A = this chain, B = another copy of it.
Amino acid sequence: MGTEKRGERQPTINDVARVAGVSKKTVSRVINRSPLLKDDTRSKVEQVIADLGYVPNPQARALALRRNFLLGLLHDNPNAQTVLNFQEGVLDAIRDTNFALVVRPVNRHSPDMLDDIRDFLEKQRLYGVFILPPISENEELAALCRELDCAYVRMGSTQLDSPQYLVESNDREIVASAIDHLVEMGHRRIGLIEGPEGFRSAYERREGFLDGIRRHGLEYRAQWHAPGQYTFDSGIDAADRILGEADRPTAIFVSNDEMAAAAMHVARGKGLLVPEDLSIIGFDDSPIASHIWPPLTTVRWPIREMASVAAHKLIDSVDADKLPSRLPSTLIRRSSVAPPRMK
């Protein structure tokens, strides 16, 4: 353990070299685990390193290697829990390395977003960046990373880029199987609350929904289908529209949990019981899903695992193509789905 006292200068590689009676290049070799070193030279140096409590200076290292060990996270906060889980997943991967994770929330509605990010990437010269949806779908942003020679991995719900730059989930398939679940419970009249136009995730989830509907030859009605913005308020409007119909569906798939919670509010307001009168399935498995009443059946995407894989793609670029690009989501069955009431 280091025994340096406060205020003392941190020991440098020169101190270690001097005390150990070797050249600093040799110390450098020890640090970097060079194979061509005599065992006793190595252990002697290691002993001195431990005695002095020497820790290599990352800035000096970064300068000499002409690259630093910082990974960046660009996101527009699709959901706080998701972003935080992602951070944890990256940390799982970089723990015990010299990498660190720097975060950069951005605003996709700002006209300056790309300039801000350019400024950030130029100033920080990151080793690589993660890009979360929805901004991962922005092609100009990906082009910017390439222009600035900054490695990147895009997280997404569909194939946005070539596999080495991508980690995706299988939104479309899992939503189709959520529909299967509803059909197994006896539902034939199923509605959809969608995410915003222009989001790939929204598109994929809708296609999954339609796959499910077609697969079972279900009736499809335009009035059971409403657009949303992935926000609670937009969920209220959408559910109002769908549940206002006399001839309403017995179940709804909602493209995220926040809007699903909104749909429950609306159902309650109209005197409908969930799940007896209306079954609801959400998407994300955010904390609300388990905290509302009844607890929400929803889709969990393995964001933490996806983050770890993404980190490895950035770091171990040698075998990045051996890493998977697609990780499976799962349907979490809770209490917001039940067989429809007999009429």
Query: Taking beta carbons and an 8 Å cutoff, which residues of A are in contact with B?
Result: 2, 6-7, 55, 57-60, 62-63, 68, 70, 77, 80-81, 83-84, 87-88, 91, 98, 100-105, 120, 122-125, 146-147, 149, 232, 258, 261-262, 264-265, 268, 287-288, 290-293
Contact = CB atoms under 8 A, between A and B. Distances in A.
Oligomeric state, in copies: 2
A91 B265 CA distance: 34
A59 B62 contact: yes
Given A102-B70, A265-B293, A59 B146 contact: no
A124 B100 contact: yes
Given A84-B84, A87-B105, A232-B290, A122 B63 contact: no
Nearest to A56: B123
B58 A124 contact: yes
Nearest to A9: B66
Contacts of A84: 77, 80, 83-84, 105
A291 B288 contact: yes
A57 B288 contact: no
B102 A102 contact: yes
A323 to B, nearest CB: 23
Contacts of A70: 100, 102
Contacts of A105: 84, 87-88, 91
Nearest to A262: B291
A262 B77 CA distance: 26
Contacts of A124: 58, 100
A137 to B, nearest CB: 21
Given A83-B80, A103-B103, A7 B149 contact: yes
Contacts of A149: 6-7
B63 A2 contact: no
Query: Which 4 pairs of residues, A with B, have the shortest CB-CB distance?
Result: A59-B62, A80-B80, A80-B84, A80-B81
B123 A55 contact: yes
Given A101-B103, A122-B55, A125-B58, A80 B287 contact: yes
A6 B80 contact: no
Given A261-B292, A291-B292, 19 more contacts: A2-B122, A6-B146, A6-B147, A55-B122, A57-B125, A59-B125, A70-B102, A80-B80, A84-B105, A87-B105, A91-B104, A101-B103, A102-B103, A232-B291, A265-B293, A287-B288, A288-B288, A288-B291, A292-B293
